[in-house]
Amino acid sequence: MWRKLKNLFLNCRTYADLSPDLATRHSINCWLRSRRSLSFSEWHECWWQPKAVSDRVSRFVYDSLKRYSGLQLACVRPSDRLEEDLCLSLVCWYDWNIRLCEDFWQCFGIDLTWELNLQALSTLEDLVLFLDRQLLAATNLPLEPQIK
């Protein structure tokens, strides 16, 4: 009996450690609301089109990060830092980076599992440009020669 109760307590504690910090999410969303909210088209045209980022990649980031984090992506800017400003490791579920890799695979057929290093990516711009480069590299691969 005590073992089951202790296990339940530890599970609840672990769940809290792995789940999003809703208070942090709320405070970041309050901060983001002070900015102009952009539709996806405006967000892409304003921030990503000048950098020649594929609209498919910017749409993927816009939708995915909004789903993982609960943040107002319409107000996020390329210069926003992933941890210091957006606190992604706190506002997302613990496995958001794994889900990002899985979703990128589902959407583009590209495996990022061994390529994605979030410690090397400081800002949203770093992340978007990284993903765009991965897509470009995969789609610009030379065709393998046909063996006759």
Cβ-in-10-Å burial (0-12, 13-18, 19+) of 50 comes to exposed
User: What are 82-136's pLDDT values in tens digits?
Assistant: 999 999 999 998 888 999 999 999 999 999 988 888 889 999 999 999 999 999 9
Residue 68 resides in a domain: yes
- pTM assigned to the model: 0.82
The range of the structural domain enclosing residue 120 comes to 20-137
Position 126 in a domain = yes
Residue 109 is assigned to a structural domain of this protein:
yes
Chain mean position to CA 14: 23
Domain assignment of residue 2, yes or no: no
User: In whole angstroms, what is the distance from residue 4 CA to residue 115 CA?
Assistant: 41
142 found inside a domain? no
User: Has residue 124 been placed in a domain?
Assistant: yes
Confidence label for 138 from pLDDT (cuts 50, 70 and 90) = confident
SS3 state of residue 123: strand
Number of domains making up the chain: 1
Other CB atoms within 10 A of residue 29 CB: 15
Whether residue 48 lies inside any domain: the answer is yes
b/e burial code for range 58-76 (CB count within 10 A of at least 16 → b): bbbbbebbeebbbbbbbbb
Is there a domain that residue 148 lies in?
Answer: no
Q: Tell me the C-alpha distance between 57 and 40, whole Å.
A: 12
